[in-house]
Amino acid sequence: MAAQESGAGAAAGLVEQWRDILAVHARTMCELDRVLHRHGLGASDFEVLDVLAEGTAQDGTAGFRVQEIAAQVHLSQSALSRLVGRLEKDGLVERGMCSEDRRGVRVCLTPKGRALHGEVRPVQRAVLRRMLTPGAPVSPR
């Protein structure tokens, strides 16, 4: 009986921890969306620009395959394709065929996308610092 109660208490603790993680994620995403909106971006838009600007594709090239981006930004491939379409329409990224697999699509930053990323990166990082540093004030004021 005591073992069951102990197990139930541990499970309740895990559930509470999970809900705390979800709450931090939700608050952080909302704050990122609010702050990045001034720059014409959402949190997911910035994440794609950040992956393209800061990362290296698996094959070492400048562009990333859509599947590689999806694995890093945790969006479905269809949601990511729509997002990349919007970024392309805004002139921030370019899509092209993969030379090694003509069915694949490779995404690269444009100079405009690289410039916007450079402008917005400090803003995004400041929000992350404020929202995720233990003991830091959460209020954006």
Tell me the sheet residues that pair with 94. Answer: 108
The pTM for the full model equals 0.82
Burial 64-94 (b: 16+ CB within 10 A, else e): bbbebbbeebebeeeebbebbeebeeeebbe
Helix, strand or coil, per DSSP, at residue 65: strand
Tens of pLDDT, residue by residue over 8-49, are 777 888 999 999 999 999 999 999 999 999 999 999 999 999
